[in-house]
Amino acid sequence: MMATQSATGSRGLAAPLAVNNLTVAFDEFRALDDLSLDIPAGSCLGLIGPNGAGKSTLFRAILGLVPMAAGTIELDGQPITGLSTTRRVRRGIGTTLQSGGVFLELTVRESLVLAARRASRKWDIAGALETHQLAELADVSVTELSHGHQQRLELAMAEVSSPRLLLLDEPVAGMGPMETQAMVQSIQAVNQAGPTVVFIDHDLAFVRALAQEIAVMHQGRLITQGTPDEISADPEIMSIYFGAAEGHATAGATEAAAQETGTPQ
């Protein structure tokens, strides 16, 4: 999967990402091993794989938080390999983290003002609050929010920072089925209005519901890439995650649960 002309330039608001032969190593341990990945502008890609597969490391490499032993990364056709984190972020990469992604000292409103930076006048902060159902909590200190609310806030902050590529690291971790379903719709709305989205999660029903494409990683390598249907029909993938026999049954059960508890919007 070499980088080809599929990095055909951005859709303005969304940028394509090309990862070419990326290797990230810590002493002898290869967290990422000659990984190549192509993400077209505006798409929504789910990244799955067992713990230790290198998913978060890939995000960190894209953001410039870990040194790369080999390979290049291109955003919107431009290499970003040598750039500092701040520069890369300013080129339009937004991210949410597994933990520690919000600022407890600020209020909800202040968090959005922070994320919008100079565009904080342009961005309709009030509108963003409404869209993400945070309007009533606008002046509440973030430290008082529930975990689910904090994650929603983090997504709102990421959106308001006007990224062209959005990296979401386990955006629904710890959320119940209703909240998860609401997040699917929020993220889809964000993706349709703007950036390319790449997200990591372990909740396979969530991944199936949200992703247009899924990439599977294992031990620092990309195993396969395909549509959600293709992936969940592949027994080898299922056996990487679960045991072979349980694979189908479990995936089916979580999916059914999600369909039953879907909330009207």
Site residues (vs another protein, CB under 8 A): 24, 26-27, 29, 31, 51-52, 54-57, 63, 66, 85-86, 89-90, 95, 97, 100-101, 103-107, 110, 113-115, 117, 120, 136-137, 139-141, 144, 157, 161
Nearer to another protein, 25 or 189 (CB): 25
Nearer to another protein, 40 or 64 (CB): 64
For 33, the token pair is 């091993």
d(CA 248, CA 233): 8
d(CA 179, CA 86): 32
Nearer to another protein, 95 or 186 (CB): 95
d(CA 243, CA 166): 32
* Phi, psi (degrees; rounded to nearest 5) at 76: 55, 40
Distance in Å, CB of 88 to another protein, minimum:
9
Nearer to another protein, 117 or 147 (CB): 117
Distance in Å, CB of 32 to another protein, minimum:
8
Length of the chain: 265
What single DSSP character describes residue 92? T
User: Which 3 state secondary structure label does DSSP give 29?
Assistant: strand
d(CA 63, CA 59): 6
Distance in Å, CB of 1 to another protein, minimum:
22
Distance in Å, CB of 233 to another protein, minimum:
28
Distance in Å, CB of 6 to another protein, minimum:
27
Nearer to another protein, 37 or 112 (CB): 112
Distance in Å, CB of 220 to another protein, minimum:
8
Q: Which amino acid is at 141?
A: S
For 201, the token pair is 């999660």
Distance in Å, CB of 91 to another protein, minimum:
9
Nearer to another protein, 63 or 173 (CB): 63
d(CA 79, CA 180): 35
> Per DSSP, which regions of the chain are E strands?
17-26, 29-39, 44-48, 70-75, 78-79, 93-96, 165-169, 196-200, 213-218, 221-226
Nearer to another protein, 20 or 56 (CB): 56
Sheet containing strand 29-39, edge to edge, reads 29-39, 17-26, 70-75, 78-79
